[in-house]
Each structure stands twice: as C-alpha cells, then as structure tokens.
Amino acid sequence: MNWKHLLSAIVCFVSWNASSQTLDYYAELNQPASYGDARYNALGGSMTAMSGSFTALALNPAGAGFFRQDAFSMDMGIFSKRNTLDNQAVRGNTTTLNINTLGFLGRDKESGWNFFFTYNSDDLYRERIRDIRTNTGSMTTQWLERSEGTPPDYLPELGAYEDLLYQSYATDYDPNSMSYYSSANLSDVDFNHTYFRKGMRNRWTFGGGTNLGNTFFYGASISLVHSFETVEINHEETYNSTTDLDRLILTDYWNNNAIGLSGNLGVLYRPVQFLRFAAALELPHIYSFSQDWESEIKAFRPSISASGTTAQGYGEAYMWTMMTAPKLRSGATLVMGRSALFTVNHTLIPHDWSASISRNERYLTDVVRNELDAQHLWSAAGEWRSGVITLRSGVAMSPSYREAFGDFWRFGCGAGIRIDEMSINIGYSRMTQQQQYYPFSGDYVDPLLFQSMESMLNLGAVWKF
C-alpha cells in the first residue's frame, strides 16, 4: 500500500465513523443520469446532440428548440440489480418498479422560446449484499486494537463501535495494562454479514430552448435534485472457540437525505440539414445533507445473561455539504433522411473538482482529488426507421477512474412505434462494473470485490399536440 492508499484508508476510516462519506459515495454522486425515458435508455444515454427525449432535455436544454409542437411524456420501468463474485456465486439480487420520467413542453410563440419541465429518476440505489465466511477473523478485532490504552470513560471519544463493545460486555477491561480482551478466540469466527440499501436520486428540471435562424439552437435550465437512501446492516458472529462469549450481533441503520441545486447550459449547431454538433455544461451540484445514524451491539455471554446483553442508543444527527464535479458533454449526430441516424457522444467528469464545503470535512477534498481520476464516458448509438417502426441501439464505455473499480460498460436497445401524434417507446439498458464493499469500517485493505449488473426495462409514450 503506497502513501496515497494509506492516507485514503485512514481518512475513509475516520469519515465512515463520522458520516459515511467515502470516496465511492463521492464518485457515485458525480455520475450523470443513469436512467431516463425509453428512448434515452435504448440509446445507452447517447443523446447530447439529439432531441425528442425529455431526459435529454434535462441534460442539454438546447434540444427544446427543435420542438414544433407542445408535448407531454411519461415513462415507467422495472429496475433490477444483481451482484456476483468471480465464481458467479450470487451475493445479492433486488428488483423494483419505478416512474422514470414525466415531462411537459409548451411553446411560447411570441418569444420564440419553448419552455419545459421534466422529472427524471437519475439513479436508483438498490443494493443487497450478503457476505458469509467461516473460520475467519472477527470484525471486532480492529476496534479492540484501537481501544488499547484508553480507559472505558473515554471510549466514546474513539468511536461508537469501540464503546459499544465494552458496554455490551462483549469485551473486558484490564485496568493494570489498560487493555481490552475477549473471552472468545477472535481468529476462529463464523460470520453472516448482510447489507441492504434502497433509495434514489431524483431531478426536477425547469428550462427552455430557442433558436437563431435554422442552424443555431441554445437553451438553459435549472434543476432541483433530491438524493435519499436508507441503509440497514446486520453482522452476526459465532465464536467456534470460547470460554464465555458465544455470539455477537451488530446492527447499523442510517437515513441519508440531500437537497441539491444545479443548472445546465447547452448549444446545438446544425450547419447542414443532415449534421448536428452539440455541447452542454452541467454545473456542479451543491448538496446539503442530513443524516440520522443508529448503531447497536448485542453480546451473548452465559456468565452474564442467558438472553444476551445489549448496548444500544448510539445515534447521531449529522449535517454536511458538498459540491460535485461539473460535467462537460459533447456530441455529433449524422441524420440520414428519415430512415436512420447515428450519434457519438463524450462526457468529461473531472472528479477532482469535487469538494467538501463543510468546515469539518474540508480535509476530504485533497483525498478525493488524489484518489479519483478524471472520468471519460464515450458512447455511440443509432436508430433505423421503417415506416412507423423505429429500432434503436447504443453502447457506452468509461475506463476505470477509481482503484478497485473496473471499466464501466453500458448496452441499450429498444424500439418505437409512431401512431398519429403519439410515439410509444420501449427501451432496455444494462450497465456492468466491478465494485467494492467494506463490511462496516473493515480494515480498508481487503474489500469484498464483486461484479455489479444493473438493468432497466421501461415503457413510455410521447404525445404531441
């Protein structure tokens, strides 16, 4: 482990115990919209230089200038996520229904502007992980080592887990050596660790777009972003060799909510009828977080209580703020009459622009800048039209930008049918990436690595009137 990794480990350990602000969480909040309407998903999110999608309008408002009629759109989908290890053993599946988008665009003929509102569920937080190990080390060892030399009255200053171990009688204290010890062999443990997370990131966008002649289009928008999640963790240990302590159960629960503001500026240039160039700047999201956290440890020691001894009530209400990285999008679309089109896109996310704004967390900014590389997301997609039916497909790829995270891949496909002034679309999108998970604070050098595969199948319609 080099000095950068060591520094990251120390800071992540401290920040986890304070407010769950990890590098992985920063990277997640920096990501662009993962899901949207059926057309956006089918094209793999490759829509910077295109219109006709309310999700695309939220990312590049210049596309609103292309509309020649008022429009309304709504999409719903089925989301699923599957986590697997290298041996293909399933470690967690989850499925849920979701309202993907809801949008309206109205034309103001006097000003020449087209104004729109769109709701989009940018990302869904659904994570179910189960880690089962036998004849391994105890998770409590790290907290015992941190407690060395600290009298019981001062354990709360070290952290909740260190204090809860002692308060629940899972450990004993020797005042002569000022050390803590367990009546169980902490090197021969079976444990069952489960992690369940649910929530989402929503975006409400208000904006407009217009044109200068028939070649230049521009627009702007502001967005209100709401990110929320609940996390439940249960860790149960059974000691195979013990003189007293038989079992220990540790639970964690936190509820994290954030409100953020952002904006988008976009342009689209059409020098000739069959070619479009586009660029958009998504400004940093300024988030204000509010987090409630609770933890409990229950130890089973026959010498003290046959039914178990519990230390609970550890909780904290915590508030903090952060700024995400901006996103610079660019793209080009080649239109082949009414029969087909092909588009390519690039999104740059300079993660080192992320920053903790709160005074107590500003030290995290340097760690984020050292550990997260700039992310380049490349994508390409195409549509083929035959009569009233349109077929779509797209692919996106982002090289790894975070240690232990693999390359990101996305594939999409779908179809649409045009019936008078209504278009019905179906889209499927699948994203895969290697990720990591640290049980509780862990030691931050041996994470559980797994392959994450998310998919969304959705159906929607656009009405023009």
Residue 265 has a pLDDT of: 96
pLDDT per residue, tens digit, the chain (465 aa), is: 333 343 333 333 333 333 445 667 778 888 888 888 999 999 999 999 988 889 999 999 999 998 989 999 999 999 999 888 766 566 778 888 899 999 999 999 888 899 999 999 989 988 888 888 889 889 898 889 889 999 999 998 888 888 989 988 899 999 999 999 999 999 999 989 888 999 999 999 999 999 998 899 999 999 999 999 999 999 999 999 999 999 999 999 989 899 999 999 999 999 998 999 999 999 999 999 888 888 888 888 888 865 556 655 566 677 888 888 999 999 999 999 889 999 999 999 998 888 888 777 777 777 777 888 899 999 999 999 998 999 999 999 999 998 778 899 999 999 999 988 889 999 999 999 988 887 765 555 567 788 899 999 999 999 988
d(CA 361, CA 280): 31
Q: What is the C-alpha to C-alpha distance for residues 46 and 162, in angstroms, rounded to an integer?
A: 48
Q: At what angle do helices 23-30 and 364-371 cross, to 10 degrees?
A: 70
pLDDT digits (tens, 9 = 90+) for 134-172: 898 898 988 898 899 999 999 988 888 889 899 888 999
* Rounded (5°) CA angle 307-309-313: 130
Instruction: Give, in order, the Cα–Cα distances in Å from 47 to each of 69, 102, 201.
Output: 20, 18, 20
Q: Phi and psi for 404 in degrees, rounded to 5? A: 80, -10
Contacts of 212 (CB under 8 A, 6+ apart): 218
How far apart (Å, rounded) are the C-alpha atoms in residues 424 and 418? Answer: 7
- Scanning the structure block, which residue is given the tokens 């015992």? 144
What secondary structure letter does DSSP report for 240? S
pTM to 2 decimal places = 0.85
Going by their DSSP bridges, the two strands 389-398 and 286-301 should be labelled as unpaired
- Assess contact for 241 and 186: CB atoms under 8 A: no
> Which sequence spans correspond to the domains of the chain?
3-140+182-464
Of 323, 121, 319, 375, the C-alpha closest to 227 is 121
Cβ atoms within 10 A of the Cβ of 155, count? Answer: 22
The CATH classification number of 3-140+182-464 equals: 2.40.160.60
* CA–CA dist 338, 388 (Å, integer): 11
Tens of pLDDT, residues 199-231: 999 999 999 999 998 899 999 999 999 999 999
Over the stretch 9-39, which tens digit does the pLDDT of each residue have? 333 333 333 344 566 777 888 888 888 899 9
